[in-house]
Amino acid sequence: MALIVQKYGGTSVGSIEKIRAVAERVIRTAEQGNQMVVVLSAMAGQTDGLIRLAYGLTEDPDPRELDVLMSTGEQVSVALFAIAAKSMGRDARSLLGFQVGIHTDHLFGKARIHDIETGRIIRNLEQGRIVTVAGFQGINDHGDITTLGRGGSDTTAVALAAALTADVCEIYTDVDGVYTTDPHICPKARKMDSIAYDEMLEMASLGAKVLEIRSVEFAKKFDVPIHVRSTFTNERGTMVVAETKDMEKVAVSGVAYNKNEARVTIHKVPDRPGIASLIFDPVFRAGIVVDMIVQNTSQDGLTDLTFTVPKTDFYKTMKIVSDVAANIGAERVLGDEDIAKVSIIGVGMRTHAGVAKKMFETLAKENINIMMISTSEIKISCVIEEKYTELAVRVLHSAFGLDVDKGES
Ligand code: ASP
Ligand code: MG
């Protein structure tokens, strides 16, 4: 008998019919002799709808009450699931975050789980019940409801799987696995059989939205294997697991892109100690997350500094940086919103040579200009003009041998 944690996302429980289908699927697996813990998201669109209601009242809803409100979406799903399962003759019990004892810190809206009690879940499992747990929510030590941040039900599932030492954590979604790149822009994208935690973290941070990033960090830390698969088929999906020797055989496992960043350049910055901190301090203090930073070697004591920020923070950043630039006597500040970051990712990069060269050559062949480059052990990113994103992704995918073989699908 295995203990299986399954998580179903919003589209998988988006209607009464879908909830019934999920219940049937869970019962089938239970009847093969498995203990089942089922984490659910809110029905598709519900969380957004609840947030809209609050913002209909004020621009600045109280964070505590917003969490009380948002957590109701998942409450609806687990109740309906348990009702469905029971109507099919199988005992089931819904539990909210506070009833389980999912303890978090105090940060409303993006709380972190620090401890999970397993007693109540285990007692229910031992009585032969299917246990369904509301995703995305916990309780802080004042007894207040907290939520874990958008997409947080993934983290609930992985954290429960770790706490219960489950045999597997299955994340059911509306895609059938993790792809080598976005299939919407690259028809030759291929479903991966497995991907290393670190690769998944890079893919997720670049906008491959299959798994919430914190759930992958959690899985890595506690070594929980995740199986990402489709709710609507029985096919095997993609395993997100610890790195294996095999994974190093290929240099590049995936191509990702991000169109949500903008570029800011400060020209002719006086090159002396303390300048970078003068420039970035107010940016950081405004809560703006800076991604790439490039500084040129200086000429005549002046240098250029370029960095990227989320597009949503572009105007705020330009304003802050223009003020600082004036203060420190830099020549001017230029911004560019029409950029994209294209990245190749793979743990195999550590042991393969010439990967960067091949990436640059591939882009050059298409006449795509590279504006910025950054590298890590398992990733190379290039900033290019936004209009070339799709082309860049496709040619890189092909150059690194990721295209799906003919005949395969
Ligand atoms: N319902 C929450 C959201 O929409 C959590 C989740 O679905 O994972 O972000
Ligand atoms: Mg999700």
Alpha carbon nearest to ligand 1 atom 6, residue: 151
> pLDDT tens across 48-93, in order?
999 999 999 999 999 999 999 999 999 999 999 999 999 999 999 9
Q: Beta 145-147 vs 372-376: how paired, if at all?
A: unpaired
Domain locations along the chain: 3-174, 244-409
pLDDT band for position 405 (cuts 50, 70, 90): confident
The rounded distance, in Å, linking the Cα atoms of 248 and 55 is 48
Alpha carbon nearest to ligand 1 atom 4, residue: 47
The rounded distance, in Å, linking the Cα atoms of 399 and 223 is 33
Ligand 2 centroid to Cα of residue 391, in Å, is 27
The atom of ligand 1 lying closest to the CA of 152 is: 8
The atom of ligand 1 lying closest to the CA of 148 is: 5
> pLDDT tens across 95-131, in order?
999 999 999 999 999 999 999 999 999 999 999 999 9
Ligand 1 centroid to Cα of residue 119, in Å, is 25
The residues lining ligand 1, judged by C-beta closer than 6 Å to any ligand atom, are 10, 41-42, 47, 73, 135-136, 150-154
Q: Which residues pair with 103 in a beta bridge?
A: 115, 139
Q: Report CA-CA distances (Å) from 10 to 66, 177, 379.
A: 19, 16, 31
Residue 224 has which token pair?
Answer: 């929980």
Nearest listed ligand to the Cα of residue 209? 2
Report, as an integer, the average pLDDT of 195-208: 85
3-174: CATH class: alpha beta
Instruction: Look up residue 352 and give its DSSP letter.
Output: -
The DSSP-derived string for 214-279 is HHHHHHHHHT--EEEEETT-----EEEES--GGGGGSS--EEEEE--EEEEEEEEEE--TTHHHHH
Ligand 2 centroid to Cα of residue 109, in Å, is 16
pLDDT band for position 346 (cuts 50, 70, 90): very high
- Residues with C-beta atoms within 5 A of ion ligand 2: 9, 151
For a mutational test of ligand 1's pocket, the pick from 8, 133, 153, 171, i.e. the residue with the most ligand atoms closer than 8 A to its C-beta, is: 153
> pLDDT tens across 352-401, in order?
999 999 999 999 999 999 999 999 999 999 999 999 999 999 999 999 99
For a mutational test of ligand 1's pocket, the pick from 47, 67, 156, 171, i.e. the residue with the most ligand atoms closer than 8 A to its C-beta, is: 47
Ligand 2 centroid to Cα of residue 85, in Å, is 23
Residue 164 has which token pair?
Answer: 């219960």
Alpha carbon nearest to ligand 1 atom 9, residue: 150
CATH number for domain 244-409, candidates 3.30.2130.10, 3.90.1280.10, 3.40.50.2300, 3.60.15.10: 3.30.2130.10
